[in-house]
Structure 1
Amino acid sequence: MAMLTYITKEGDTVDSITWRQYQTRAGSVLENVLSANPGLADYGPVLPPGIKVKLPELPQPAVHKSVKLWN
């Protein structure tokens, strides 16, 4: 699994970082980032500048085939 690294800037939050990287605010994405970065939540809601945050590659959602019932 490939992982990118992001270095925080002043005013960054985990939520804002995940939004910029993954374009979603889904709780599962936030949980994946926090799991990949033990102790990150200990910094509080606003992260200090210069923290290296690992951004894991997320699993791709399953593709569901649709069924056409009528023409």
Structure 2
Amino acid sequence: MIVLAQQGDTVDALCWRHYGRTDGTVEAVLEANAGLADLGVILPIDTPVFLPELASVNTSTPLLQLFD
């Protein structure tokens, strides 16, 4: 999917809006978009950004239960 950056957008903000998380997604988006990091932290308005399809994240760490 290709999205256009809005005013004040960063790569991590785009990832958060599209994927709902930033862990590993920012790196994947930067790898899929050669030269995107060279544009700076704040992306220029209407910069096309390809958001690749990502596999779901599986955690091997057990979750801590506060109350049993």
TM-score, scaled to structure 1: 0.77
How far is the alpha carbon of 1:60 from its aligned partner?
2.6
Higher strand content, 1 or 2: 1
**Structure 1 stretches lacking a partner, 5+ long:** 65-71
Identity %: 42
State the Cα RMSD in Å: 1.7
Which of 22, 47, 61 pairs up with 2:19?
22
Structure 1 residue runs of 4 or more that deviate by more than 2 Å after TM superposition: none
How far is the alpha carbon of 1:9 from its aligned partner?
1.1
Larger radius of gyration: 1
Please tell me the residue identity of whatever aligns with 1:12.
D
TM-score, scaled to structure 2: 0.80
- SS, match of residue 6 in structure 1: strand
Number of matched pairs? 60
Equivalent runs, 1:29-40 vs 2, <5 Å: 29-40=25-36
Q: Which residue number in structure 2 is paired with residue 67 of structure 1?
A: none
Structure 1 position 10 matched with structure 2 position 13:
no
